[in-house]
Chain A
Amino acid sequence: MSAATPNGTTTMHLILAWGFVGIPLAWGVVETLLNALKLFQ
């Protein structure tokens, strides 16, 4: 999990960075998607 690339970035760094951005964004997208589904109900 901590294999470093030549520039010193570890897999853990990548997971943290993408999670920091991706988790809140995924929550927002799901909320919006649920709202958008009302168009088809």
Chain B
Amino acid sequence: MFTAGVCFGSGFLVAAAGVYMHNLWAVYLGNGVLGGIGLGLGYISPVSTLIRWFPDRPGMATGMAITGFGGGAFIASPLSVWLMRQFSTSTHVGVAETFIVLGAVNFCFMMVGAAIVRLPAPGWMPAGYVPPTQPKKLITTKDVFVYQALKTPQFWLIWWVLCLNVTAGIGVIGQASAMSQEMFAGHITATAAAGFVGLMSLFNMGGRFFWASVSDYIGRKTTYFVFFALGTILYATVPYAGGIGSVGLFVLCFCVVISMYGGGFATVPAYLRDMFGTRYVGAIHGMLLTAWSAAGIFGPVLVNYIRQYNVDHGVAKAQAYNITMYLMAVLLVVGFPCNLCITSVHERHHMVPDEFDAIGMAD
């Protein structure tokens, strides 16, 4: 977490220098490379730490950590606007100064986190918690080594589950404002569309805690089944909502969909913990997040290109998103078999005491 804070904070400073010197590559290096490394490290470390503190509620634990990650956007977005307003002059908009302040603030906050975070002692349990004596079908008590996890079908099935769930969500996030205005021209103004985006971000954050906590009770596999089933229905309903001009139904569909997008993020570390154990869940989670990166390309590309293709072929703007919505529903249908095929990891992948000794990590 210390490294994450250093990378994230210094990334802002390098980006600020890039803005000051009008050097775009320095901005890419700062915000993209250094900031990206800091972001990734800062995302994974609290998740793997909190899972260890809550062996009785791993979903809630990961939900809390990833809700915090989403909550950062709520602070950074208005803070950035406020700072730029303070630093703007008649000759520039104050981006460089804003980056410097954001870098310093983020660094300080992350250092406080790094200073106080602790791993529990091996075998630590919350007071009153008794681990189940009967092993659960999809929850292992063993550990799988990080590189061994890559050799299991379960890892790649969860990779596709996350990728498909995120592709469907991330595609509409970037287009939500334009989509709402084009589908309900004359009803949703630019100001109202900004409000819609804000509402979606609240559901995104709330969904992270809600769905991940629910997964502790109904199981990870069932939670993703709900995401895919309900998501398919809701995406297929959006064109209908546009057709009948129901803004309320449209907003409801997207708010629930986005809550499940956030829920998918927040539940997946607990899913990995169930499959591969607690010891390497942070590193395995890091590798799984390549699914997020892939979805970050697939989702917006699908939504933008299909919309543009439709508009170029004479489809009215109000209906230009219909095919995209049906395609998103199909993506979620594809997720069903991926999720259904997930079974417990074969015991040949489990670590044995000799392996712990070999890597010098015996408890």
Contact = CB atoms under 8 A, between A and B. Distances in A.
Q: Indicate whether A and B interact.
A: yes
A36 B75 contact: no
Contacts of B362: none
Interface residues of A, number: 18
B78 interface: yes
A36 B71 contact: no
A32 B192 contact: no
Interface in B79-110: 79, 109
Interface in A21-41: 21, 24-25, 27-29, 31-33, 35-41
Given A32-B198, A35-B198, A21 B68 contact: yes
Given A36-B202, A39-B251, A28 B196 contact: no
A24 B198 contact: no
A17 interface: yes
B133 interface: no
Contacts of A32: 74, 77-78, 198, 201-202
Majority SS at the chain B contact face: helix
A29 B192 contact: no
Contacts of A27: 75, 78
Contacts of B202: 29, 32-33, 36
B74 A36 contact: no
B199 interface: yes
Contacts of B116: 17
A28 B74 CA distance: 5
B112 A39 contact: no
B69 to A, nearest CB: 11
Given A20-B112, A21-B68, A31 B195 contact: no
A21 B116 CA distance: 13
A41 to B, nearest CB: 7
A38 B136 CA distance: 47
Nearest to B124: A7
Q: Which of A24, A27, A36 has the most CB of B within 10 A?
A: A36
Nearest to B75: A28
Given A25-B71, A29-B71, A36 B199 contact: yes
A27 B71 CA distance: 10
Contact of A38 (B76, B78, B195, B201): B195
A27 B77 CA distance: 11
A41 B112 CA distance: 40
Given A17-B116, A39-B192, A41-B192, A31 B74 contact: yes
A24 B75 contact: yes
Contacts of B199: 36, 39
Contacts of B134: none
Nearest to A5: B127
21 contacts: A17-B116, A25-B68, A27-B75, A28-B73, A28-B75, A29-B71, A29-B205, A31-B77, A31-B78, A32-B74, A32-B77, A32-B202, A33-B198, A33-B202, A35-B195, A36-B195, A36-B198, A37-B195, A38-B198, A39-B195, A39-B198
Q: Across chains A and B, which 6 residue pairs bring their CB atoms closest together, nearest first? A: A28-B74, A39-B195, A38-B195, A36-B198, A35-B198, A28-B75
